[in-house]
Structure 1
């Protein structure tokens, strides 16, 4: 964005209506804080993305913002740390990567100098600019495609999410940290949007509680603040919250693991000791595995927490003890998320009520879901970034022999790294990553290669060995040729598309329109979305073809071999077409698509069904898309062949 003259803008002044403030043709400029003061429901200090989406939703549906909506350009400051800018109908966001929206500007502070400073910092590199994706009203209202700066960054990088993840492990996360919002608390860092929002929410609860604790004029006891943390094993549930608590500087932290106690009296004895803290320090008590069994009763501990949470008291040795302010953090062991902790059917609901589950939940002030290195669902593309950050941290801390002491570069086989990042699941979360490194033979080497890995029986404890080995085999076979294959496949697509257009008898004007279609661009100008589609095709197919029980294989060209597949037809073509459809459905689901009547705005497609349920016309379209795969592979020195040992 180019900064215009100061006289081109008109700044909002508190106390004015939006209609009076922006009645002329000048560019409106205001603070997001002004809109919050006018009672528009826009959250503060949670994330840049949430603020943007909540504002755009209000702009789309709330007529009270019509005075702004009538302008094609506007500037809305997110304090001094960022600005949401509309320029002739297109939105962009200036933001400070390592800092969220603060409260440093007064209501009537001049705004033009702040915008000017942000644009200067963008040129220096300390402030970033990202285009906010254009979305229809239907899409914004549905929430089907929320804005995420990390996603926008990864989608624009050559190789997208995988290449970003690889760079994190090889070189460190600093490059990523300079381009996307990052949450730092002590030794904990995350760029995952949902984790950032969760951590910021917990930090805000802690800060508010400290304020109330320090400004209790009536000297009344503060009711304890209770929050619950969920996540898969090894996700670091306690670690993240402890780092937030330590960053506040006011908490005395104690952990109590409920699996070590057999009765409420034992627990309250330990709680009494945990609540003893130094002057001006607030006790913060972690109840690890709070949802474990007590005397054979699932979640039997819950009822004993009710009085401490609500009334600030507990019974110890027959005597009521009062709690003069505390924070209780309940870390779960049986559920990977708060949603999973809640009952799913009437039978589970009855059991939940019996152990006072609803009463426990009603006393919680905050919830934190920690994700860990595994995808939380099919749409969780950011899991590979979380996985990369965990792997990098583990390698640097525990295997310094494969790290460059000066530049911090990690010396690991690219194929092995790709397989570690892409494997379907780590069975025990981040602990599995840690143990795989510990079991690998790395003490006397300076490079991590597949030969360093433990045997398959040990690996299988921590990941799906069959899936891992197929990914590793493909990477070793042609991992460095994926981009070349994608380029060859794209050029072939352009040629076929032109031939089909000519065959349809299109006019010269219509043929020119075909050439202007985004997927018909030259490779160097092609959007990463289309490039990734070609890369995804060969990765998915190549990994599948590594399976020992499949009668088709992939190999470097073997001159004169009698088992080479020269062209695809019959059952072989049908098998590859089905694989391609599986890949397409997987990628669509990862992008948020579901089955339904065709609606690109709501991401619905009638083709999100098994291959057998597709109509013949659609099947033929898919067959055409894979029929020439042998030709593309041949150009790179590879071929398909029929296995003789099946």
Structure 2
């Protein structure tokens, strides 16, 4: 790193941190004091002084900063903080070595006159290349005499301004935005924004956090000042950050994130706390900025700097203060050094532009998986089954709860919501009533499995599950007996996870069970005769049997007024509103079927993940050493693309169990159950059409190829230089020419994927569709590129006229350089594809897992970042 000659000024609020920790007694025969636990303490510099140490390590530049040599570290006019340390594992592996981190923040010891002591920069320089300010709102931002000379001069240094407040009342912030707007990078922690009333969700999904921020920065008056910033970075835990850029007409926001973790998970897994995390992030950012300081667009380095900062902050937290605080260098130089055994690299951090549309429909269907992938969802699904989630989804956020994995944003948000509720409830010592959660989904969607895995991921070993199906209960006596089981388990020190399956079933009328749950849910007791019994600590999960969503249970999907009024009256008579008011959360479980034609885009991904999971659990012998599933492509296609499974996940599992796979080395089509057995779980005719599509298409490839050739023969005028072979009859062509046309026919389904169409084999001749001019243009351009590459691989080169003997062709140029006549011939040839395919009983239809906004053009008017 060649930054030795760079000058960086680091200043701001300062503090002295007093760290306290204990170690066990070392002697039982020594002096009296040696028989007690030993108390230790160390004093370290904090605030801007710690930040300067980070910057020195990260940049190796000349750093100008306030000095403490002549100041007594016990000076009462300096801000002092007290922290208690404890040993925690270095990483999530409980068997790993340990390091000290902060267990408890004990508080501050402030100066008598309220304003802490500030220090001037030891050797200030107006020509500093980079200025870094640590504003903790402890006085520095209002004391202009302590501000660095570089920002008060006529120079324009790059400024990194770390703050914990975005209020316009800060004189320093106002000054920077007035004098140095174009060259100031502002950094603030997401939790600091939340503490000031900015409503940004935490840890539900990266999409939700990102969209919440975009809305808040555009609409929240308390963020008016920050919204004017040209460069604003908000850190979200150690796992993510948002880079907001407002340098033109349209503000842009980019999300940086780890795919395998969500906000807050890193600290929760590793345990303990560390101060200075944002300062460490700033130092990593400065490392990238200072290395590009001479470049005209230096701020283009921020993307790389954000990655540097995230990696540094995670390593800083993991390393902590070391196993021996007195002997370990702090900060640890390894924070900014890349090692062969590092658990995180910059390449692990992904980024994506955040959708910037005000249309709520657009926002509801934004999925990172779509924006991060250049392939179609069907191709991603295929790769999941074939190669596993880790390989197929390495750039996509995946949430894991025990053995449950979720990639669908809706599911992730639902599961994480109830996980947060459960974690808070479990950690609360004094509770007098159960935590009540509802879960909805179609039969076979995996309601019980999903919630059980979420609960087990929080507190493994403590939770014990009880399954109760209310549709099998004959009387209230059965329910009382069930409550006794729950109470007994709670008294044993276990945490009962009670599934009341089909709680919405008929009993003494519609929703008749609800009234018997009101007292247990509200007061934590149940009545038996004249006796009242406390239930104890428990988690009640009410799984719907007749309602597949919470909205359906509450009647919110009823559109006809009279029908809704009747429902509401019955719902109130059944104590439905009282029951709902006692719930603390709910989740809709999405199974392998598409729940909504418009909005449910990722059902094919859910199917793929379920199928891969079934393969790994039930037929591990079909997974190769390198993780590749040995399964026929037709079987994958049929299992992924069949319209509906009659019994959801149970049907997928049943098809696998009915297949003869015990001694199979590969899941071939011949291993599938008979047509009659398939009928129990899917539309067997449709399933078999998907299964045999390659075969059907191959059987008709000669007819399709001949029709393509005859059509081109009609389109091609004598003076065209497109092809000499098109003037001959099909039967007069040699095999090389026929194979070239067959190859074109084979590629038609793949070409149609480029415009979101699929080719489906049907029984009756389908209606012929028409491509739009835009679709024709995309297909023609793609076909030209495919054909050119194929010809070049066969040895053909460019020339002014066709010469088949010497393999010369004038169309071996880019699309833009083709003559207009040749372009029109290619476009008209593609215009005939729907009729040619229809004549062979193949239907062209839109892919069903498109975004509703894309299908209906909502996105066309919205200026999204993805269009830029």
TM-score, structure 1 normalization: 0.73
User: Which runs of structure 2 are paired with 1:372-383 in the superposition (5 Å)?
Assistant: 372-378=591-597, 379-383=599-603
Q: 1:124 to 1:409 in 2, by over 3 A?
A: same
1:226 equivalent to 2:441? Answer no
Q: Which SS does the other structure have where 1:361 is aligned? A: helix
Deviation of the 1:36 alpha carbon: 0.5
Q: 1:35 to 1:548 in 2, by over 3 A?
A: same
Report what 2:640 is aligned to: 421
Q: 1:228 to 1:479 in 2, by over 3 A?
A: farther
Report what 1:282 is aligned to: 495
Q: Which SS does the other structure have where 2:540 is aligned? A: strand
Whether the aligned pair in 2 keeps the contact of 1:32 and 1:76 (CA below 8 Å) is yes
User: Which runs of structure 2 are paired with 1:240-389 in the superposition (5 Å)?
Assistant: 240-249=450-459, 250-276=462-488, 277=490, 280-295=493-508, 297-343=509-555, 344=558, 345-378=564-597, 379-389=599-609
Rounded Cα–Cα distance in structure 2 between residues aligned with 1:567 and 1:403: 40
Any unmatched runs of 5+ in structure 2? 1-58, 60-128, 133-157, 268-272, 285-305, 313-341, 559-563, 716-748, 769-828
1:62 equivalent to 2:277? Answer no
2:260 to 85, 98, 123: 98
Whether the aligned pair in 2 keeps the contact of 1:313 and 1:323 (CA below 8 Å) is yes
1:178 equivalent to 2:397? Answer no
Q: Which SS does the other structure have where 2:413 is aligned? A: helix
Rounded Cα–Cα distance in structure 2 between residues aligned with 1:383 and 1:5: 50
Q: Which SS does the other structure have where 1:367 is aligned? A: strand
1:206 equivalent to 2:422? Answer yes
Q: 1:91 to 1:6 in 2, by over 3 A?
A: farther
1:583 equivalent to 2:852? Answer no
Report what 1:118 is aligned to: 310
Q: 1:435 to 1:588 in 2, by over 3 A?
A: closer
Q: 1:252 to 1:403 in 2, by over 3 A?
A: closer
Deviation of the 1:9 alpha carbon: 4.2
Rounded Cα–Cα distance in structure 2 between residues aligned with 1:193 and 1:421: 20
Report what 2:240 is aligned to: 82
Whether the aligned pair in 1 keeps the contact of 2:499 and 2:541 (CA below 8 Å) is yes
Report what 1:499 is aligned to: none
Q: Which SS does the other structure have where 1:92 is aligned? A: strand
Whether the aligned pair in 1 keeps the contact of 2:756 and 2:846 (CA below 8 Å) is no
Report what 1:600 is aligned to: 861
1:460 equivalent to 2:679? Answer yes
Q: Which SS does the other structure have where 1:83 is aligned? A: strand
Whether the aligned pair in 2 keeps the contact of 1:13 and 1:108 (CA below 8 Å) is no
Q: Which SS does the other structure have where 2:438 is aligned? A: strand
Rounded Cα–Cα distance in structure 2 between residues aligned with 1:144 and 1:456: 42
Q: Which SS does the other structure have where 2:503 is aligned? A: coil
Q: 1:92 to 1:105 in 2, by over 3 A?
A: farther
Whether the aligned pair in 1 keeps the contact of 2:521 and 2:582 (CA below 8 Å) is yes
Deviation of the 1:303 alpha carbon: 1.2
Q: Which SS does the other structure have where 1:17 is aligned? A: coil
Whether the aligned pair in 2 keeps the contact of 1:142 and 1:602 (CA below 8 Å) is no
Aligned residues: 528
Report what 1:17 is aligned to: 167
TM-score, structure 2 normalization: 0.55
Q: Which SS does the other structure have where 2:510 is aligned? A: coil
Rounded Cα–Cα distance in structure 2 between residues aligned with 1:319 and 1:132: 61
Deviation of the 1:602 alpha carbon: 9.8
Rounded Cα–Cα distance in structure 2 between residues aligned with 1:453 and 1:316: 54
Deviation of the 1:15 alpha carbon: 5.5
Q: Which SS does the other structure have where 2:517 is aligned? A: helix
User: Which runs of structure 2 are paired with 1:623-642 in the superposition (5 Å)?
Assistant: none
Deviation of the 1:119 alpha carbon: 5.6
Report what 1:443 is aligned to: 662
Q: Which SS does the other structure have where 1:397 is aligned? A: helix
Report what 2:620 is aligned to: 400
Deviation of the 1:122 alpha carbon: 11
1:51 equivalent to 2:234? Answer no
Deviation of the 1:5 alpha carbon: 5.8
Report what 1:434 is aligned to: 653
Deviation of the 1:429 alpha carbon: 0.7
Largest Rg, 1 or 2: 2
Structure with greater helix share of residues:
1
Whether the aligned pair in 2 keeps the contact of 1:337 and 1:369 (CA below 8 Å) is yes
1:550 equivalent to 2:765? Answer yes
Q: 1:454 to 1:16 in 2, by over 3 A?
A: closer
Rounded Cα–Cα distance in structure 2 between residues aligned with 1:539 and 1:594: 15
Rounded Cα–Cα distance in structure 2 between residues aligned with 1:438 and 1:338: 32
Per-residue CA shift, 1:135-187, capped at 9, x if unaligned? 34x33x66545542222223x23xx2111111111111112453222221211
Rounded Cα–Cα distance in structure 2 between residues aligned with 1:177 and 1:68: 35
Deviation of the 1:108 alpha carbon: 8.3
Whether the aligned pair in 1 keeps the contact of 2:444 and 2:591 (CA below 8 Å) is yes
Rounded Cα–Cα distance in structure 2 between residues aligned with 1:248 and 1:442: 36
Per-residue CA shift, 1:591-617, capped at 9, x if unaligned? 454499x963399xxxxxxxxxxxxxx
Whether the aligned pair in 2 keeps the contact of 1:415 and 1:479 (CA below 8 Å) is no
Per-residue CA shift, 1:502-555, capped at 9, x if unaligned? xxxxxxxxxxxxxxxxxxxxxxxxxxxxx9882277963x31xx32232799xx
User: Which runs of structure 2 are paired with 1:125-140 in the superposition (5 Å)?
Assistant: 127-136=348-357, 138-139=358-359
Q: Which SS does the other structure have where 1:415 is aligned? A: helix
Whether the aligned pair in 1 keeps the contact of 2:311 and 2:346 (CA below 8 Å) is no
Whether the aligned pair in 1 keeps the contact of 2:441 and 2:544 (CA below 8 Å) is yes
Q: Which SS does the other structure have where 2:593 is aligned? A: coil
Whether the aligned pair in 1 keeps the contact of 2:205 and 2:412 (CA below 8 Å) is yes
Whether the aligned pair in 2 keeps the contact of 1:49 and 1:149 (CA below 8 Å) is yes
Q: 1:132 to 1:39 in 2, by over 3 A?
A: same
Of 337-346 and 32-41, deviating more is 337-346
Whether the aligned pair in 2 keeps the contact of 1:53 and 1:146 (CA below 8 Å) is no
Q: Which SS does the other structure have where 1:22 is aligned? A: helix
Q: 1:354 to 1:334 in 2, by over 3 A?
A: same
Whether the aligned pair in 1 keeps the contact of 2:507 and 2:513 (CA below 8 Å) is yes
Any unmatched runs of 5+ in structure 1? 497-530, 554-565, 604-646
Rounded Cα–Cα distance in structure 2 between residues aligned with 1:38 and 1:552: 59
Q: 1:284 to 1:551 in 2, by over 3 A?
A: closer
Of 454-463 and 197-206, deviating more is 454-463
Report what 1:561 is aligned to: none
Report what 2:145 is aligned to: none
RCO (CA 8 Å, sep 6+): is it higher in 1 or 2? 1
Q: Which SS does the other structure have where 1:583 is aligned? A: strand
Report what 2:410 is aligned to: 194
Deviation of the 1:383 alpha carbon: 1.0
Rounded Cα–Cα distance in structure 2 between residues aligned with 1:112 and 1:261: 61
Q: Which SS does the other structure have where 1:314 is aligned? A: strand
Per-residue CA shift, 1:256-296, capped at 9, x if unaligned? 2213310111111122112223555333321112112225x
Report what 1:390 is aligned to: 610
